[in-house]
């Protein structure tokens, strides 16, 4: 049996110390910049350096997440942060998602391990060898995998692997969701998700939370993970959670790991998890013989223990909490980020089912949740650890790091290719693009395969990996040479990438020249840049690119890609947001695509894009359901503003 680390989250100092008190083997946290949980408090370098010292004394490893996309103009900033992090904090690992950070880390002289975040989209065995060759030592697996897929992915892996065992589930596959950019102007890939999936949508006249997932909780099922080779860590999600949640979940999974066959310990651990203040939980896909759709449209989507609904009037509102409230408890009224949302700190004990009058004005009907609790015993443990911090005034100095850009491509294509990309094989001459499928009825474009372009899906799951490999190998044997990959790490599905015209597709989230340099190193000839970039970013990338670059110039782009869908709903029918935006779902092989009813349309800027040096202009020809009507929407998504 393996003995995986218990890897605890920390988005604030109290949570960091709670993880130490609970016996975590490792803690992951973020800084004020480049963190995929930007809404957490996160840490300054000076304070993290002090906490790192304390953790080191207890032989607890510290991993720092710099796992957002990096803008073209942020390469120096990211490198300076890595330089200072190395010199003053000396973490055990840096967690990243943007492939460009690999080259930035090299230039900055980073000496610790590199771990690929789940946002980096390693969804199967494919790509593990390539990551190891780049110097990456660990990868975090997607939450969507079942135990058989985890075993298959881990078998003979050259990497350490990390798996989530507890915490919030996103509707979209990590790294494959742009919903927040569409609706809130803030990128989830930059750590600023406004959680549109947690909102209520109208479907066939029924309002519900059709995309808001329950939490993941494997509890006693984690015993089966102990026999998986190369599985180095059990990861607990929750960098926005408080110390109570971190302490209870970390303690529970440490008990389950260390005493997997003890019935009393299992019962104790389950009791701790019931008190951890999460949403209602699910094992999701973990058991392949008993998968669970983690969506319940009628259930409140908020995190924390649901206490009940606000009663009374706006001016005299109150709740009758389902459980006793204690001094120091933190209660949230309403859904985070929505009108009427507020946080309330409890000052005196409120009995269960008793009356608690809410301060200020609250709209009746809003849900209330207990989201954090500060027990006297836990507070004492945290204060004791805080007193042991030896040097709380570490002052990291400045860095003079400047990123050395790769040499730009000298011979750019004189003529940009306008490429129509189809979901189903059309009866017309090429060169054309087609999204490949496992469905034999979809077929493959006829005609000269050498001229056509073949698009791989954004996610290939372990169960379908061999089938996809057969399709790719068969196309190569027939002369196909132009492939657009849905993930950078799919490059390992091609035995001789240097002899092919391989491109990273728009799903790969390529956003800076450092990422292009890594692509060039592993055999790519070009990259379709992330649709989340701004006009300025696109132009800058085209001028500085070391390989060819492309852009989605027109067509339907999904807001999210998922592996699950509410059993109460059906694909191809409209979902209406609270602001009257329309969305619809389409199932493509094993993935669910959620589309808006408006297109990306940059055709008016085509001449500018050609002059800038773009050599591939994609026109996505997605079939439209009968009940969906395309509409114009003001603005051009991120064209003027870009990643936030």
Distance of CA 19 to the CA centre of its chain: 23
Q: Is a pLDDT exceeding 90 seen at residue 336?
A: no
pLDDT band at 621 (very low <50, low <70, confident <90, very high): very high
The pLDDT of residue 447: 61
Identify whether the C-beta of residue 613 lies closer than 8 Å to the C-beta of residue 412: yes
Is the confidence at residue 361, as pLDDT, over 60? yes
Average pLDDT for residues 328-341, to the nearest whole number? 83
| pLDDT band with cut points at 50, 70 and 90 for residue 636 | low
Question: Confidence band (pLDDT; 50, 70, 90) for 635?
Answer: low
Q: What is the mean pLDDT of the chain?
A: 92
Determine the Cα–Cα distance for residues 112 and 110; give it in Å rounded to an integer: 6
Reported as a single tens digit per residue, the pLDDT across 152-176 is: 999 999 999 999 999 999 999 999 9
Confidence of residue 352 (pLDDT cuts 50, 70, 90): very high
Spatial contact of 532 and 192, defined as CB atoms under 8 Å apart? no
What gap in Å lies between CA 569 and CA 567, rounded to an integer? 5
Q: Which residues contact 380 (CB under 8 A, 6 or more apart)?
A: none
| Run of H or E residues at 147 | helix 147-154
Q: Is 586 helix (H, G, I), strand (E, B) or coil?
A: strand
Kindly report, residue by residue over 502-535, the tens digit of the pLDDT. Answer: 999 999 999 999 999 999 999 999 999 999 999 9
CA 389 from centroid of its chain's CA atoms:
33
* 413 pLDDT more than 90: no
- Give the mean model confidence (pLDDT) for residues 10-20: 96
- Which tens digit of pLDDT belongs to each residue from 76-98? 999 999 999 999 999 999 999 99
pLDDT digits (tens, 9 = 90+) for 53-69: 999 999 999 999 999 99
pLDDT of residue 330: 92
Q: Residue 27 in contact with residue 13, Cβ under 8 Å? A: no
**DSSP code at position 478:** T
Over 80: is that where the pLDDT of 620 sits?
yes
């Amino acid at each position: 049996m393996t003995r995986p680390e218990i890897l605890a989250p920390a988005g604030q100092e109290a949570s960091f110390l709670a993880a130490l008190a609970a016996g975590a083997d490792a803690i992951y946290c973020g800084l004020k910049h480049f963190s995929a949980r930007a809404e957490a408090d996160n840490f300054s370098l000076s304070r993290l350096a002090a906490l790192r010292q304390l953790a080191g004394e207890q032989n607890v490893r510290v991993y720092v997440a710099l796992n957002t996309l990096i803008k073209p103009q942020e390469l120096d900033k990211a490198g300076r942060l890595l330089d200072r992090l190395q010199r003053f904090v000396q973490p055990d690992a840096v967690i990243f998602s943007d492939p460009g950070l690999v080259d930035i880390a090299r230039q900055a002289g980073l000496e610790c391990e590199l771990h690929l975040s789940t946002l980096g989209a390693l969804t199967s065995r494919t790509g593990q060898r390539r990551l190891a060759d780049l110097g990456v030592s660990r990868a975090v697996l997607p939450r969507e995998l079942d135990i058989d897929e985890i075993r298959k992915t881990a078998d003979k892996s050259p990497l350490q692997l990390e798996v989530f065992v507890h915490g919030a589930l996103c509707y979209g596959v990590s790294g494959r969701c742009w919903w927040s950019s569409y609706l809130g102007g803030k990128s989830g890939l930059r750590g600023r998700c406004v959680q549109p999936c947690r909102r209520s949508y109208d479907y066939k006249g029924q309002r519900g939370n059709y995309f808001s997932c329950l939490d993941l909780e494997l509890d006693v099922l984690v015993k089966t993970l102990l026999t998986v080779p190369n599985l180095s860590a059990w990861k607990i999600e929750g960098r926005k959670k408080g110390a109570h949640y971190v302490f209870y979940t970390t303690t529970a999974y440490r008990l389950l790991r260390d005493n997997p066959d003890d019935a009393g310990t299992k019962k104790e651990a389950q009791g701790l998890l019931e008190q951890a203040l999460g949403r209602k939980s699910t094992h999701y896909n973990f058991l392949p013989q008993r998968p669970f759709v983690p969506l319940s449209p009628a259930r409140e989507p908020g995190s924390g223990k649901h206490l009940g609904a606000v009663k009374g009037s706006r001016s005299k509102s109150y709740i009758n909490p389902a459980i006793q409230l204690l001094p120091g408890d933190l209660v949230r009224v309403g859904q985070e980020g929505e009108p009427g949302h507020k946080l309330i700190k409890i000052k005196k004990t409120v009995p269960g089912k008793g009356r608690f009058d809410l301060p200020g004005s609250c709209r009746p009907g809003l849900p209330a949740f207990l989201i954090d609790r500060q027990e006297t015993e836990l507070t004492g443990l945290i204060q004791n650890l805080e007193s042991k911090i030896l040097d709380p005034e570490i002052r990291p100095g400045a860095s003079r790091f400047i990123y050395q850009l790769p040499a730009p491509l000298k011979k750019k294509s004189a003529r940009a290719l306008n490429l129509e990309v189809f979901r189903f094989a059309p009866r017309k001459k090429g060169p054309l693009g087609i999204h490949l499928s496992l469905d034999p009825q979809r077929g493959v474009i006829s005609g000269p395969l050498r001229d056509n372009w073949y698009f791989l899906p954004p996610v290939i799951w372990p169960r379908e990996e061999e089938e996809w490999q057969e399709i790719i190998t068969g196309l190569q044997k027939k002369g196909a040479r132009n492939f657009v990959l849905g993930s950078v790490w799919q490059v390992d599905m091609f035995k001789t990438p240097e002899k092919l015209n391989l491109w990273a597709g728009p799903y790969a989230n390529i956003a800076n020249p450092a990422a292009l340099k890594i692509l060039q190193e592993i055999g790519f000839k070009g990259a379709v840049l992330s649709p989340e970039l701004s006009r300025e970013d696109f132009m800058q990338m085209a001028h500085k690119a070391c390989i060819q670059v492309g852009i989605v110039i027109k067509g339907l782009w999904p807001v999210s890609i998922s592996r699950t869908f509410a059993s109460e709903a059906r694909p191809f029918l409209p979902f209406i947001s609270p602001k009257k935006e329309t969305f619809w779902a389409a199932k493509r092989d094993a993935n669910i695509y959620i589309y808006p009813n408006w297109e990306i349309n940059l055709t008016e800027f085509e001449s500018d894009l050609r002059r800038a040096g773009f050599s591939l202009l994609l026109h996505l020809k997605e079939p439209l359901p009968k009940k969906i009507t395309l509409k114009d929407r003001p603005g051009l998504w991120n064209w003027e503003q870009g990643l936030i």
